[in-house]
Chains A and B, each alone.
Chain A
Amino acid sequence: MTAEQIIGKSVPRKEGRDKVTGAAQYIDDMTLPGMLYGATVRSQIPRGIIKKISFDPQFDWSEFVIVTAKDIPGKNCIALIGDDQPCLADRNVNHPEEPILLLARADPHLLRKAVDAVSIEYEPLPAIFTVEESEQCSQVIWGADNTFKTFLIAKGDVDSVWVKADYIVEGEYTTGAQEQLYIENNGVIAAFDAAQGVTVWGSLQCPYYVHKALMALCNLPEDKVRVVQMETGGAFGGKEDYPSMIAGHAALLAMKSGRPVKIIYDRLEDMTATTKRHPSRTRHRTAVNKDGKILGGEIEFTIDGGAYATLSSVVLSRGTIHAGGPYYWPSVRIRGKAVATNAPPHGAFRGFGAPQSLFAMERHMDRIAQAVGLSPVEIRRRNFLKPGQTTTTEQTIREEINLGKLLDRALELSDYTSKKKKFTQANESSPIKKGMGIATFLHGAGFTGSGERYLASVVGVEGCTDGTVRVLVSSTEFGQGTNTVLCQIAAEALDLSYADVQIAQPDTNQVPNSGPTVASRTAMVVGNLVRSAAVGVKQTLIAEGILRSSYSPEEFRAACQRYIAKHGQLRSLARYDPPEGVYWDDQKYRGEAYAAFAWAVYIAEVAVDLSTYSARVEDFVALQEVGRVLHPILAKGQIAGGVAQGIGFTLYERVVWQNGRMQNGQMTNYIMPTSADLPDIRVFFEEMGNVHGAYGAKGIGELPMDGPAPAIVNAIEDALGTHFDSIPLLPEDIFDALSKTVSAGGEQ
């Protein structure tokens, strides 16, 4: 067993050269002969019935392709988990910007006027916009009671803890919507002919999700739908399910016109019409003893799903399972609920429910600390999960994680103790108040419970005629390093050089379904399958007798070429095999929720300028235990980027809603941090290996989204002594809270 040559090294990004030379092909860089451009006519009201659609008679419609719901060959839905979301609204509209009809034309400049020349008469219906309105059911807009999904996690005997408690601590915490704000807007090109069927090229995360949706929409069999992922300029979950919608639209136009059709959103359309992070409300009621130990509690976690179910049940699942944080709960009852409102459906965004419920948990821990009279450090230390203990879903922690030690290391790296002391003193006289805040948390990688088993991912590795090797997965690259890491794994498994391994463009005609590129599963789950498939290639050659068990890259290349010359193809497939003894009960929501957890301690230092009420993160320490770091630069880049998005989520990014429509759908008014706004984000890793992941890796892509918000708000409270339980937390909100404090006579 030789030392690892490639794993753990920062090899060059596989597609990096194309990216730094402008050669990388994103969907808007592509054109096809005879191509038309498409545009979408959308609802201007949040809820109602379409009474009449009129086309301005003064407008020349002769060269336009027009598609309505009536043109849909298959089922008018975007098939995902449920089928409730229409591809084109037919009679009812349930959110602003809901797509109603489609136009296409060769000259894209003529589309805007055409969209404006379509008038739609509605009979408006009363609409609802908040979780509370949805719960009250004054209007029932979905199902029987506006509820997409509920979950119940019940452990131990919650009802008995209250009498034993020395403290009962309550809190309510809310988070707002967040726009993924990938710098490349959604876009696709679709083409159709009777022989090949529909082909879609696009900016997307999950080619097989789009494939499935198009089959149902276009009424085509599996082999008459082809989806190809182009270079994708950021996704973060925002291109997990939405591409099925835009692909469906382009496909319908292509089918009707017989021409290829490109639809590219501009920023305003992308922001106002596509998915965002689910707004959330979490209520905690916790029984704590005088030593600060959690005896038990109730958690109610509610998310706003927008108008259709889409991914809300899965977001809810993850948020509910993570709601208890990295702590030991002897007893707990967690009720998760996803409800409907008349906003565009909310969807996946890095973290996928966990940032919401973990924000609440970590804010609540500081509140518990205050109630009991312990420090934020001590309250966490006393409640951390230890190996052998069980989580809220009764999953036994089997790895030797030591959260107390992780916390110690983070405290040291951030100089927490001495800074806190310094700030407490300086804050008395300074107009700039400084504070320190901690968040400790976990993030489960891979699909929940039986999810990976259900996905049954398949991966291929094949030999090429030039003797190199190609990885075949539907897992997509969108900046996080899929191409690089999977090639590293294959190269390592085959004892080849990194340059000898390529990865195929995700094309459903060419690659098997390795599952969606979500849930931080690619390195860990798909990577493991790549390793197996690579080993399979090696074993095939060895079994053929043309390769010894120990070989040089040249010998491998020769054997590979020899085999292909003789047999025509050298390909090995690996299918996901659930690990032994992993048990999950979907009914009781109990058992091994995730194959692996990553663990983290994040510490934020903030400064609040009381002349402007703005809070700024001055220093940020992100320490995480992630199994094995496969590629140091990529891993650090993931954490830094995730923390930056977390800082945005907390202090800068507010979606301004009016009647269900986003009002600030431009980069001028939806504020993400610039290079002048972020502190140095200091990233550190602990490595412990992981039984299930490729070369010991655990998923890391979403983990960094969970910690920044509570660490920062905890720090702001430390600086100001005022409770803040809602994000985004803008200077205006800090000002309003401080004014209330003043007018209430200075009470906290």
Chain B
Amino acid sequence: MTTVMTTGSSEHRGKCELSLTVNGEAKTVRVYPMERLLDVLRHELKLTGTKEGCGEGECGSCSVLINGELVNSCLIPILQAAGSNLTTIEGLAEGPQLSAVQKAFLECGGAQCGICTPGMILASCHLLDKKPEPTLDDIRDGLSGNLCRCTGYIQIFDAVAEAARRRDPA
């Protein structure tokens, strides 16, 4: 993967132009290569659904999918995400139609204050993609990198189990 270093005005010194696909749309940003993916999503791309809770990869609020893999966007320099295919929370619903996981979270009480919810939903999607019929232990393990302070996780487990029941087999 190569970068394009521009030698334009001093304001752009050190910044580079990077392309990536976000929720199916091609995007180009002009950023410092060491900017965190989280900040590029929120500030450059105005996708504020991805949240910062800790900045140290512990809480999972910043979780996104890169090429289908769950990652903490607060720990990824944007250069390393160049050319990849990103899914954020904004990419899950199809217009007014919520995804199975989103619906289940709504119906089972999986979201209370909502700040962990985008990351938690993406982690749940990632889990269900890998394990379409997860046991409770699978769910606990799959979500163990996403902290929730409000729910005690119980209704989140309910939501994931319900989503698993409803999802079409891939």
Contact = CB atoms under 8 A, between A and B. Distances in A.
Given A234-B150, A672-B147, A666 B54 contact: yes
Nearest to B151: A641
Contacts of A29: 42, 48
Interface string A191-233: 0000000000000000000000000000000000000000111
A636 B51 contact: no
Interface stretch (B1-9, B13-21, B85-93): B85-93
A643 B151 CA distance: 9
A480 to B, nearest CB: 7
B134 to A, nearest CB: 12
- Greatest chain A CB density within 10 A among B48, B115, B143 is at B115
Contact of B56 (A23, A25, A267, A678): A267
A674 B112 CA distance: 17
Nearest to A682: B154
A20 B121 contact: yes
Interface in A128-185: 180-185
Contacts of A21: 49, 89-90, 92-93, 98, 102
A637 interface: yes
Contacts of B117: 19-20
Contacts, number: 163
A373 B120 CA distance: 49
B68 interface: no
A26 interface: yes
Given A184-B51, A674-B147, A681 B152 contact: yes
Interface residues of B, number: 54
Interface string B93-124: 10000100010011111111111111001000
A17 interface: yes
Interface in A4-24: 10, 12-13, 15-24
Nearest to A236: B149
Interface string B42-53: 100001111111
A676 B152 contact: no
Contacts of A666: 54, 56, 58
B141 interface: yes
Contacts of B153: 640, 644, 675, 678
Contacts of A185: 53
Contacts of B149: 180-183, 234, 236, 641, 645, 672
A640 B51 contact: no
Given A21-B92, A182-B149, 16 more contacts: A17-B98, A20-B98, A22-B48, A26-B51, A28-B51, A182-B115, A183-B53, A231-B114, A233-B53, A234-B115, A479-B113, A637-B150, A637-B152, A645-B152, A667-B54, A667-B59
Q: Which 4 A-B pairs have the closest CB atoms?
A: A22-B49, A233-B115, A479-B113, A644-B152
5 contacts: A23-B49, A29-B42, A183-B113, A184-B51, A681-B154
